[in-house]
Amino acid sequence: MAISVLSLPPDVLARVCSHLWTHNPYTYRGRGSLSMLARTCSEFHEPAISVLWRSLHNIVPLLYTLPSDLCVTEAINGNEESSEFVPSKIWVVMRFVRVPAPGDFHRWYKYAALVRELTHDYSCYEFSKPSVHPEVWEALGQRGPSPLVPQLLTLDSRDFELNKHSLDTVSFFSPTLSTVRLHLSDADRDLAYYLNTLAALSPNVQELHLEHEPCSHRGDIYVSITDHLLKLRNLRELRVICLYIHPSTLALIGSLPCLQTLEVWLSPNDHPTTAEMPIILEGGAMFAELRELEVWVDEFPQAFSLLDCVSSTRLQSLSIRRSPRLEHYSQAPLVTPSLLGSLFTMVASHPSRETFRRLEVAVDPVQPPCDLSETILPLLTLPALAELEIKGWALIVADAATLDAMSRAWPRLEQLNLHDPKPVRAFPEQCAMNLYEAEVAATPWETTLADLVPLALRCPLLKSLGLSVNTWPDLEGTFPEVRFEDSSLVRLYVGYDAEPGEGVAEFLAAVFPRLERVRHGDYDEHRGGLVRPRVESSPGWSYVSDVLAALHLVRKQEWRWAEQRANAAPR
């Protein structure tokens, strides 16, 4: 007997409904289907609306649950209400025309209890879509539910989209909150109030993101987080973005017992350096449980002092980004190979050396060419390293012996990027290649495609590889053929070389059978202050990519046939 879909348990029906929902803040595809499904029959009503209301991009849908004689939508001229409105545009605003009463929120309670995630979508504050009048926020704070959404788990609040009435964001703070992202337009005014209120109303928060908007003004704001942060004892992830941290604040953060992920911005200007920060606090070591550290600095050595304060033996990921303030941009000191060597030596001697999986160094503005063949050797003592990225140099050289040593030291390597094909910032009105054109031309690099064979044979998990490789010499003699199932490489970037030599496509298809495309290029396009790589600018590399794509399909089909024969064989 056939079983009707309506006889399925409610949780299964909810799972079916969830497949209709496309979780994308910039599209509403799927909402229409769920809305129609909720009106189909009573069995589908509850599962459909539970998914439909699970994530909201603003508070407007909840305002539509209020009586029509309380909340109205008005279209006003852009110039009548505020100088910030665009002239000759119509601004759609939701207002209250009377004082709300407790009975007005009957439907609000029903639907607000279904909301688990609330964000503020840019597209929802266009002129053609309703925004919320400041008086509505005031009325909700005085006479509305407290909290406005009782079962909320994730809150992403951009206070500049609330017409700068940022303190109304605390109306969403509830005991159930676990993830909070606050984009602050006035951190000096609001940050202390936010943290104090969050500690009182949402003590179980595990992820906290604090970001200054707009981020381009990051050099102007310093913050000192209050002692109320210590009340968030369950905090596991803290990201403070575009807000410079005072060293005393770092000492406070370091005492959080459960903190595993930290992203901070450091600046030495007008404040003590991190070297003056105490390494051991009363009650225990700093950052004892840290797993992931991302630090933005004006001066590269600042990161050394912070890393020296991390006592965790479980640190797995370290990312250091040097991005100087705009007023100091052209005077930013160079990050020399000796500085990198000091960092690598510190990492190799850290208590977490056995657990390090990822190391990223990104420097801005672009640096001159350098040879890291010797500098990188201390990292070979990290047995678990899986990702290594060094970005921001016009050219990085690593010889064949170093690549061979890497393949032996890091058998679980998944990503090796010593040449970044992504946009790199150069000095104003200058191109990275033009800036260091003579240095790049004078820097010899002997690494050839044949030198990649040890990585292919000993690092079966390697998925992404970016190096400066001399691809012009013809590949002579025999080379090993790697099985399809023993290779993972799908992305290869070979640097500035002009044209591939003979046999390149055949060699790459044999050594890296999953590879479908090779990227190469030089930083010769300058747009908007960013230097963009020209990818696959030569017919030779286009031909290589076409051959690789065709051979990849052949190898993949051969692998499938081999699997089918193995499964069909009698046991």
| pLDDT tens profile 171-188 | 899 999 999 998 887 777
Torsion of CA 472, 475, 476, 479, to 10 degrees: 160
pLDDT band for 306, please (50, 70, 90 cuts). confident
Q: Are 287 and 259 in contact (CB under 8 A)?
A: yes
- Contact status, residue 133 vs residue 162, Cβ threshold 8 Å: no
Q: What's residue 416's pLDDT?
A: 96
Q: Which segment of 138-152, 188-202, 212-226, 283-297 scores lowest on mean pLDDT?
A: 212-226
pTM tops 0.75: yes
Q: Each residue of 331-362: pLDDT tens digit?
A: 778 889 999 999 999 999 999 999 999 999 99
Residue 146 to residue 159: CA distance in whole angstroms: 19
Whether the per-residue pLDDT at 274 is higher than 70: the answer is no
pLDDT digits (tens, 9 = 90+) for 363-375: 887 888 889 999 9
**Residue 164 has what pLDDT?**
46
**What is the average pLDDT score of the chain?**
79
In the CATH hierarchy, which fold is given to the domain comprising 282-447?
Answer: 3.80.10
Sequence ranges of the chain with CATH classification 3.80.10? 282-447
Q: Give the DSSP letter string of 484-515.
A: GGG----EEE--S-SS--TTHHHHHHHHSTT-
Range picked from 5-14, 253-262, 445-454, 534-543 for highest mean pLDDT: 253-262
Q: Strand 525-527 to strand 530-532: parallel, antiparallel, or no bridges (unpaired)?
A: antiparallel
pLDDT tens track for 393-415: 888 889 999 999 999 999 999 99
Range scoring the smallest mean pLDDT among 8-17, 155-164, 284-293, 391-400: 155-164
Predicted pLDDT of residue 567: 85
